[in-house]
């Protein structure tokens, strides 16, 4: 009895000491919105880990401060002196990032007494998310419209902005065709706004709330539009732009003087009425059919740029480079157009900070090669870089039109991308999609008990990798592995490596399959544009399609070269070498997740299933390439054994495709993807729907015949 009582007293005493040792006071330099946000996230993390935050003296002191001696934007450091932790920021954003770094340790179970000193500063000053708004959308589709309610909810944006801050993204760019009529009632053109006073007040409260929350988190905000568009109400009232009331993107530009004036005044009024809005962006492209590059540049100079100059404050600018060097909008480049655009940008001296000059990296498919192959329109010359610009910085647009459903994360691809493309004239990156809005989760089957609410939360690794590595490319894999462990506990140490291995599948497809605009390739579905529709990439299409990356060799080139006695540089990625790489990496990925127990965690089940899906798609692709080589060789040189080999490989490819179906069918609904359903909202995507097309590859091989030699 005495021993039991003594044990209880010891336990109680220990509890008292631990309890006292866990009191924390946070000292802050000011009450700026960014500081208050940093304090709030720290408090929440401390309380969740069992600490007591109090205003008076405590066992630990966390001192938030501004480093006036080293006022580097977004820099932070964490230092320790006894039980005082000093989080110093080069500016207010630095204070936020230092606090979030401390929060990350706390979430990972690191106690305050074990926090290690550190410091970081940004590698790139511009780290942006591209987010297409679902009202007045670039394309018209149910897959975009279904996000309207969620994207008007500030609770969604609070979660999204928290994610951005946590991952060190510092710019949110909001894109739609004509944003002004949702934000203001133009003073001299009130008829342009389609809303009554109450409706407009709701819209304005939404935008003001969004911009305010972003500013609190150290995130700049931009509205970006395509040109030239006006509201249908304005068009009807003034009998202008009547040929494009439904806002088709490929439309003739109406440059009527009244539209010029309306656009200019709207820009000025928006900047004046929304002081928390950081800047504006514009596009040399849609809605400007039939205009020369000079006419397009003149339009911007006289409307958007002049409107910015007339505002009562300075604002920042996103200046997209021209998408076309001729009268059409399909895409083209020329030195003359680049010189024209550069000259126009260099004249601008009334803006806040450098102009962010957006260029699409590898057109719409940045998830291909880390090497710059093409931009929108074709080859990019060095006009924008030489001599080095003084008032603008290049910002690469890393467009993702290749995977929307399956989770993706390949850290070394992003590291290589950044290392290869961040010359001194580069200021940063945009990351995002044109054909996908990460708001409503329309993938997950209903009734699943998962730990996410919104679509972007499913792709947490995608955002964490891009944001953290853009901020600091030296961020180790251990940071991302620790996040897996925090979310799912023990036994998930291999998930990052498995994700990185399996996630090479879409990158390798896009490097080996030439592309241009959005719908020309959808890697996740192994689909590509075929005349006017998105179709499965047949084995014949795989054979004939040129490679996008010059380091890759197409099947057609490979077989014809070898058949004529030629050879390839060992550094080239031939179809056979690619197939072997895919098989090696994807089988290793499957082995790494083989023993992960997902029985008690549905969210983890999805993580592992997506790795397995990518891996099996990679194995399918490997067998398809082998089958394609054998099939094309048979067509050129004959021998029934080659045909049999082709059939065998394509049958195995079908077996791997069936495995993808078996993995994904219990988890995913048929999906209303824009790629698949823009012309018909009733269409839905799932790998199972493509199975008949995959099976046709086998029949194509079985029915193949030897090509008849040409007679000169």
Give 376-407 pLDDT, tens digit per residue. 999 999 999 999 999 999 999 999 999 999 99
Question: Following DSSP, what letter does each residue of 342-374 receive, concatenated?
Answer: HHHHHT--SSSS-EEEEEETTTTB-SS-SS---
In 124-273, DSSP assigns E strands to 126-132, 171-175, 220-225
Tokens of 277: 């809005």
Q: How many CA atoms lie within 13 A of 123 on its CB side?
A: 18
In 54-147, DSSP assigns E strands to 60-66, 76-81, 84-89, 118-120, 126-132
From 285-289, 480-484, 535-539, 592-596, the region with the lowest mean pLDDT: 285-289
- Using one digit for the tens of pLDDT, what is the confidence trace for 522-543? 999 999 999 888 999 999 999 9
Separation of alpha carbons 675 and 673, rounded Å: 5
Could you tell me what percent of the chain has a pLDDT over 90?
92
CB atoms within 10 A of CB 391: 14
Note the residue count of the chain: 712
- Using one digit for the tens of pLDDT, what is the confidence trace for 252-279? 989 999 999 999 999 999 999 999 999 9
Quick one: pLDDT band at residue 8, thresholds 50, 70, 90? very low
Beta bridge partners of 689: none
Residue 253 buriedness (CB in 10 A; 0-12 / 13-18 / 19+):
buried
Residues 107 and 486: beta-carbon distance below 8 Å: yes
**Cα-Cα-Cα-Cα dihedral of 8, 9, 11, 12, to 10°?**
110
Given a cut of 90, whether residue 711 has pLDDT beyond it is no
pLDDT of residue 450: 97
Three-class DSSP category at 289: strand
Residues 501 and 589: beta-carbon distance below 8 Å: yes
CB atoms within 10 A of CB 693: 15
Please report, in angstroms and rounded to a whole number, the separation of the first and last CA atoms in the chain.
Answer: 108
Q: What backbone phi and psi angles, to 5 degrees, belong to 48?
A: -65, -30
- Using one digit for the tens of pLDDT, what is the confidence trace for 635-674? 999 999 999 999 999 999 999 999 999 999 999 999 999 9
pLDDT of residue 10: 31
Three-class DSSP category at 173: strand
Tokens of 581: 């790489």
Given a cut of 60, whether residue 3 has pLDDT beyond it is no
Is the CA virtual torsion 36, 39, 45, 50 positive or negative? negative
From 16-25, 43-52, 124-133, 220-229, the region with the lowest mean pLDDT: 16-25
pLDDT of residue 82: 95
* pTM for the predicted model, two decimal places: 0.95
Give the residue-averaged pLDDT of 502-531. Answer: 97
- In sequence order, what are the residues at sequence separation of 6 or more whose Cβ sits closer than 8 angstroms to the Cβ of residue 102? 42, 45, 62, 78, 85, 87, 115
Quick one: pLDDT band at residue 677, thresholds 50, 70, 90? confident
Residues 581 and 588: beta-carbon distance below 8 Å: no
pLDDT of residue 678: 80
Separation of alpha carbons 422 and 297, rounded Å: 27
Given a cut of 60, whether residue 499 has pLDDT beyond it is yes
Given a cut of 50, whether residue 4 has pLDDT beyond it is no
* CA 59 to each of CA 21, 23, 318: distance values in angstroms, whole numbers, following the listed order: 5, 5, 48
Residue 48 buriedness (CB in 10 A; 0-12 / 13-18 / 19+):
exposed
pLDDT of residue 21: 55
Closest among 318, 294, 340 to 220, alpha carbons compared = 318
pLDDT of residue 473: 98
Question: Following DSSP, what letter does each residue of 598-653 receive, concatenated?
Answer: -TT-HHHHHHHHHHHHHHHHHHHHHHHHHHHHHHHHHHHH--HHHHHHHHHHHHHH
Give the residue-averaged pLDDT of 185-190. Answer: 98
Pairing of strands 279-282, 220-225: parallel
Separation of alpha carbons 572 and 550, rounded Å: 8
Quick one: pLDDT band at residue 562, thresholds 50, 70, 90? very high
- Using one digit for the tens of pLDDT, what is the confidence trace for 72-107? 999 999 999 999 999 999 999 999 999 999 999 999
Tokens of 100: 């979030």
* Residue 533 parent element (H or E): strand 533-536
Quick one: pLDDT band at residue 446, thresholds 50, 70, 90? very high
Separation of alpha carbons 106 and 91, rounded Å: 23
- Using one digit for the tens of pLDDT, what is the confidence trace for 15-32? 333 344 599 999 999 999
The helix-helix angle for 504-512 and 575-593 (nearest 10°) equals 170
Residues 622 and 631: beta-carbon distance below 8 Å: no
Give the residue-averaged pLDDT of 34-42. Answer: 98
Residues 583 and 626: beta-carbon distance below 8 Å: no
Domains of the chain in sequence order: 2-120 (3.30.379.10), 126-475 (3.20.20.80), 502-702 (no CATH)
């Amino acid at each position: 009895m005495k021993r039991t009582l003594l044990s209880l007293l010891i336990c109680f005493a220990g509890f008292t000491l631990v309890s006292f040792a866990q009191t924390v006071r946070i000292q802050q330099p000011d009450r700026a919105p960014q500081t208050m946000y940093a304090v709030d996230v720290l408090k929440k993390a401390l309380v969740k880990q069992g600490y007591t935050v109090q205003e008076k003296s405590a066992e630990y002191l966390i001192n938030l401060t501004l480093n006036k001696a080293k006022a580097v934007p977004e820099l932070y450091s964490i230092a320790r002196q006894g039980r005082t932790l000093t989080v110093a920021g080069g500016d207010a954003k630095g204070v936020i990032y230092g606090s979030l770094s401390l929060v990350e340790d706390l979430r990972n179970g690191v106690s305050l007494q074990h926090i290690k000193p550190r410091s970081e500063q940004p590698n790139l000053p511009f780290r942006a998310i591209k987010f297409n708004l679902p009202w007045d959308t670039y394309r018209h589709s149910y897959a975009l419209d279904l996000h309207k309610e969620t994207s008007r909810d500030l609770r969604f944006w609070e979660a999204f902005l928290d994610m951005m801050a946590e991952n060190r993204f510092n710019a949110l760019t909001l894109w739609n065709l004509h944003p002004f009529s949702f934000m203001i009632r133009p003073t001299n053109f009130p008829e342009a706004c389609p809303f009554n006073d109450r409706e407009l007040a709701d819209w304005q409260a939404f935008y003001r709330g969004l911009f305010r929350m972003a500013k609190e988190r150290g995130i700049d905000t931009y509205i970006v539009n395509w040109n030239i568009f006006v509201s249908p109400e304005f068009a009807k009232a003034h009998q202008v732009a009547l040929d494009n009331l439904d806002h088709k993107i490929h439309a003739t530009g109406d440059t009527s003087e009244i539209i010029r004036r309306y656009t200019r005044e709207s820009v000025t009024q928006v900047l004046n009425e929304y002081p928390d809005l950081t800047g504006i962006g514009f596009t040399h492209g849609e809605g400007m059919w039939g205009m020369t590059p000079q006419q397009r540049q003149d339009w911007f100079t006289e409307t958007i740029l002049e409107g910015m100059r007339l505002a009562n404050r300075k604002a920042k600018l996103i200046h997209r480079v021209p998408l076309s060097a001729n009268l059409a909008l399909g895409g083209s480049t020329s030195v003359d157009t680049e010189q024209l655009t550069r000259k126009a940008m260099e004249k601008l001296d009334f803006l806040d900070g450098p102009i962010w000059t957006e260029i699409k990296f590898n057109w719409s498919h940045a998830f291909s090669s880390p090497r710059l192959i093409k931009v929108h329109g074709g080859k990019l010359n060095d006009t924008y870089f030489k001599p080095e610009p003084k008032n603008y910085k290049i910002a690469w647009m890393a467009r993702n039109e290749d995977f929307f459903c399956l989770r993706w994360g390949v850290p070394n691809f992003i590291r290589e991308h950044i290392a290869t493309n961040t010359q001194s004239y580069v200021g940063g990156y945009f990351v995002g999609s044109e054909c996908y809005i990460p708001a409503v989760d329309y993938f997950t089957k209903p009734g699943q008990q998962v730990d996410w609410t919104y679509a972007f939360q499913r792709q947490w690794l995608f955002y964490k990798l891009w944001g953290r590595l853009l901020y600091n490319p030296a961020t180790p894999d251990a940071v991302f592995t620790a996040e897996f462990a925090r979310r799912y506990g023990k036994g998930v140490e291999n998930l990052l490596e498995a994700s990185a291995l399996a996630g090479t599948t879409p990158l390798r497809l896009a490097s080996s399959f030439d592309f241009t605009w959005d719908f020309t390739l959808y890697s996740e579905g192994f689909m590509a544009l075929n005349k006017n529709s998105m179709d499965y990439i047949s084995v014949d299409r795989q054979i004939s399609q040129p490679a996008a990356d010059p380091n890759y060799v197409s099947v057609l080139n490979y077989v014809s070269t070898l058949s004529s006695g030629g050879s390839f540089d060992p550094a080239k990625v031939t179809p056979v070498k690619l197939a072997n790489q895919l098989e090696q990496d994807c089988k290793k990925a499957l082995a790494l997740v083989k023993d992960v127990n997902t029985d008690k965690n549905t969210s983890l089940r999805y993580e592992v299933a997506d790795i397995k899906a990518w891996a099996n798609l990679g194995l399918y692709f490997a067998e398809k390439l082998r089958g394609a080589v054998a099939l094309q060789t048979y067509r050129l040189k004959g021998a029934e054994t080659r045909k049999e080999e082709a059939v065998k490989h394509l049958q195995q490819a079908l077996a791997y495709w069936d495995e993808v179906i078996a993995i994904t069918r219990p988890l995913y609904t048929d999906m209303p993807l824009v790629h698949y359903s823009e012309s018909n909202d009733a269409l839905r995507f799932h790998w199972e729907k493509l199975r008949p097309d995959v099976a046709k590859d086998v029949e194509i091989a079985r029915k193949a015949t030897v090509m008849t030699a040409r007679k000169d």
